[in-house]
Amino acid sequence: MGNQKTINEVSRIFNSYLKSRGHRKTPERYSVLQEVFNQSSHFNVESLYLKMKNENLSISRATIYNTIELLLDSNLIKRHQFGKNIAQYEKSFEQKQHDHLICLDCDKVFEFCDPRIHQIQTSTGKLFNFNISHHALNFYGRCQELINKEYCENKGEG
């Protein structure tokens, strides 16, 4: 919603990123990008690896870690840590800036937007003379709505 991109557009971005950095175009890199594109929500390296293996794609963990770095560097994905020692990722194309609500009961992650955060970022940057490139705002708590309860039931899904 808003500024969705097709896999072709995203490939083109990745393509020109690779070219600009003198990195080679390999089938593995594009298959990781495709898989990331298919993710509807947050994912981690292991889940991505298993998913790809399950689809009989030829890939190794090392290559996924390698490619993830390139995708981060080209701003096609974002990295998060939601209070656990596992890096979570999400694609950063096709969605507007948002932050996260994390349920401490079911680990489910919800997204929200609030323009005031950007104001705080700007004024804090000025105050500290800090060149802020990005932020992470996480609210931790317990979801209570019926609609959320549903999610809460299939605990620890991701």
Using CB under 8 A as the criterion, which residues of the chain lie in contact with a second copy when the complex forms? 79, 81, 83-87, 101, 103-104, 110, 112, 114, 116-117, 119-121, 123-125, 127-145, 148
Select the binding partner of residue 44 from a second copy, DNA, none (C-beta < 5 to 8 A, by kind).
Answer: DNA
Task: Name the residue nearer to DNA (CB basis): 12 or 25.
Answer: 25
| Nearest residue (CB) to a second copy, 62 versus 128 | 128
61-73 and 27-38 are packed helices; what angle lies between their axes, rounded to 10 degrees? 70
In the complex with a second copy, the residue whose CB is nearer, 25 or 149, is 149
Give the gyration radius of the chain's Cα atoms: 17
Distance CA 124, CA 146 (A): 37
Least distance between a second copy and beta carbon 104 (Å): 7
- 83's tokens: 């209070």
Applying CB under 7 A, the residues found at the interface with DNA are 23-29, 44-46, 58-63, 65-67, 85-87
Q: Are 87 and 80 in contact (CB under 8 A)?
A: yes
Identity of the residue, 61 or 126, whose beta carbon is nearer to DNA in the bound complex: 61
**29: partner contacted, choices DNA, a second copy, none (Cβ within 5-8 A by kind):** DNA
Q: Considering beta carbons, is residue 67 or 103 the nearer one to DNA?
A: 67
Minimum CB–partner distance for residue 135 and a second copy (Å): 5
CA distance 75 to 91: 9
CA pair distance 101, 43, nearest whole angstrom = 16
Q: Could you tell me if 101 and 111 are in contact, meaning their C-beta atoms sit under 8 angstroms apart?
A: yes
Query: Which partner in a second copy, DNA, none is near 28 (CB below 5 to 8 A by kind)?
Result: DNA
Q: Which of 1, 56, 66, 80 is nearest to 33 (CA)?
A: 66
